[in-house]
Chains A and B, each alone.
Chain A
Amino acid sequence: MYKTNINLEEMSQKEAIEFLHETVQPEIGSIPAYLLGDPTIYDLEHKRVFLKTWIFIGHESEIPNKNDFITRDVAGYSVILSRSADNQIRGLYNMCTHRGMKLCRADAGNKSSFTCPYHGFNFKNNGDCVGVPLQKDIYGESLDKSQMGLHKIRVESYKGLIFGTWNDEAESLDAFLGEFKWYIDIFAGRAEMEVVGPPQRFVIQSNWKIGADNFVGDSYHTMVTHGSIAKLGMVPSATYSKRGYQIHTTNGHGLNLGTPNPDFAFPEELKDEYKANLSEDQYEVLSNLKNMIGNIFPNLSFLISHTKIKGQLISNTSMRIWRPIAADKMEVITWFLVEKNASVDWKKRSRESFILTFSPSGIFEQDDTEVFTDITAAASGTMPLVKQLTFNYTMGLHRKPVTSFVGPGVVYDDKFTEANQRNFYRYWLDLMTN
């Protein structure tokens, strides 16, 4: 078993893929540690996961008006997401087509065109090249501006969530999300939702998959990692996190649905809006929801959390991406969402609860990041690879899914299983090896 000569860097791509097939075994609940720290895996992931699949860019409410734009990173490349005068949302590669300079350095704004700081080429926010300084004088009739438009990224959205992909052959976003849309409806489509403020950003020395793994299926850690929250009386008991369902669908998506809840976790006065946007079954799930924690493959995690703060129950809805920067480093970008038609008081208290629990200062958030950092450090380097250290993902392998639940997907009737992580890694392995 002990092979000191394992070195992914020296393997051919074919050999590395063969090695992945041999060592990554979600079916039996065995995931090797080296996936969380090896730079060769990180490089392969960039090509085979992040350049292949749909990546979350932003929410439609972040660019509500004509000429609004935001700049975001998609798989390592800066994208201007703009709403042009014809009200269409486009993703433009933030690179001048003349010499490659970055066109826009602001996080957000309102502009109908962008001018390159290098030679002054000017582009409309639909991507068209409309201005070249001294064009006639220096190019004569030879320059065809219609060939100089900005490169575009494929952009599609669902319930206000805008995704992009660099892969022109990728299936539609609709097909990629598939049955998981039933649950996204509850999270992002239950009412008109809006993002409040800019996203919060911070950097952690952690592999991105640990975050995705944590949100897709790890309700088990809540008892211990977040034990302080129960001690403070903000959640019922340390074991509350077991009750509910764990659900996954194809393409690695998964969530944990905390239920039942004796209290309605959302603004009462919006019940009609929820009923108008959801099916009866979806509304029933919403009515009994205590929390909802999940991950849209690969790295968009989402959360509805219901806690008691200052003696009052309040829920908050948020999402985050785990943006890879290196094998052992990621940027966490978090957004807070709220019902647009909620009362001013609800919006204020909901934002307050988000900041207290899941912002960079959040008292849930901060304990997770400590864990993520230490796992990454332990998994990095040569030893975990040559010693073939593995992590145990066998929880719930003996259990059968239930068929009585109203929603789609593979459903287990409590949240303490690792079926979702196995599903995440199964799809990850599919993409990495095909």
Chain B
Amino acid sequence: MTIERMLVTYEFEQWLYREAKLIDDIDFDGWFSLMHPTLKYQMPVRVNKEGTERPDYALDMFAFDDDIELLKIRVDRLKTDYAWAEIPPSRTRRLVNNVRLLDYVPNEKAVVNSYLLIYRSRSTDIHHDLISGERQDEFIYENGEWKLSKRFFIVDQTTINTRNLAIFV
């Protein structure tokens, strides 16, 4: 690995850590400002296959399938007084690791894959939910900043063990 590639990988690690911090701190506007207008934000339904056939997720059904406008609706909704699913908000901790730079064109675009583990705790419940999966992200460089233009989150459960996805992945 070249020094340049190491530095770029570090840069995207920091980008993902900062993103995690913004949503864990329920700063949804701050989080939303990281998105590129051409965003595609998807989470396919994972399925059980007989053997090792891949992909083992659906190509035509998703738990999230948002563009920038739909994601904005979700963010706006969380700011109304009626978004009961997150009143009070869940305590979440997004742990990002295994960050790998797959493609990179300086000042233009990048493809970055990473692993994500979300810890979610609600109210007084001592039980927590864990959501684990892989993120396949794409970035576009615009006005001196990297913006997220695509997120494809492959969750590790076929039956999701959390009461809803009122939180972001």
Binding site for B on A (CB under 8 A): 104-109, 111, 196-205, 224-229, 231-232, 234, 309-310, 331, 336, 351-352, 355-356, 359-361, 363, 365-367, 369-371, 373
- Is the Cβ of A331 less than 8 Å from the Cβ of B159? yes
Question: Is residue B60 contacting chain A, with contact meaning CB distance below 8 A?
Answer: yes
| Contact A370:B85 (CB < 8 A) given known A201-B158, A202-B162 | yes
Q: Which of B50, B59, B84 contacts A105 (CB 8 A)?
A: B50
A170 to chain B, nearest CB (A): 28
- Is the Cβ of A228 less than 8 Å from the Cβ of B83? yes
B-side interface mostly: mixed
- Is the Cβ of A310 less than 8 Å from the Cβ of B69? yes
A179 to chain B, nearest CB (A): 33
Q: Which of A199, A201, A205, A352 contacts B70 (CB 8 A)?
A: A352
Q: Which of A108, A205, A336, A373 contacts B61 (CB 8 A)?
A: A336
Q: Which of A197, A309, A352, A366 contacts B165 (CB 8 A)?
A: A366
Question: Is residue B98 contacting chain A, with contact meaning CB distance below 8 A?
Answer: no
Q: In the complex, what residue of chain B is closest to A114 when comparing beta carbons?
A: B50
Q: Classify chain B: how many residues form its interface, as a range.
A: 35 or more
- Is the Cβ of B84 less than 8 Å from the Cβ of A225? yes
Q: Which of B59, B63, B86 contacts A361 (CB 8 A)?
A: B63
What chain B residues lie within 8 Å of A336 (beta carbons)? Answer: 61
Question: Is residue B5 contacting chain A, with contact meaning CB distance below 8 A?
Answer: no
- Is the Cβ of A371 less than 8 Å from the Cβ of B50? no
- Is the Cβ of B160 less than 8 Å from the Cβ of A363? no
| Contact A370:B163 (CB < 8 A) given known A109-B50, A197-B58, A363-B74 | yes
Q: A363 to B75, alpha carbons, bound, how many Å?
A: 11
Question: Is residue B76 contacting chain A, with contact meaning CB distance below 8 A?
Answer: yes
- Is the Cβ of B159 less than 8 Å from the Cβ of A201? yes
What chain B residues lie within 8 Å of A359 (beta carbons)? Answer: 62-63, 165
Q: List 15 A-B contacts (CB under 8 A).
A: A196-B60, A196-B61, A197-B58, A197-B60, A197-B61, A198-B58, A202-B163, A225-B82, A231-B82, A309-B70, A355-B63, A361-B43, A363-B73, A363-B83, A367-B83
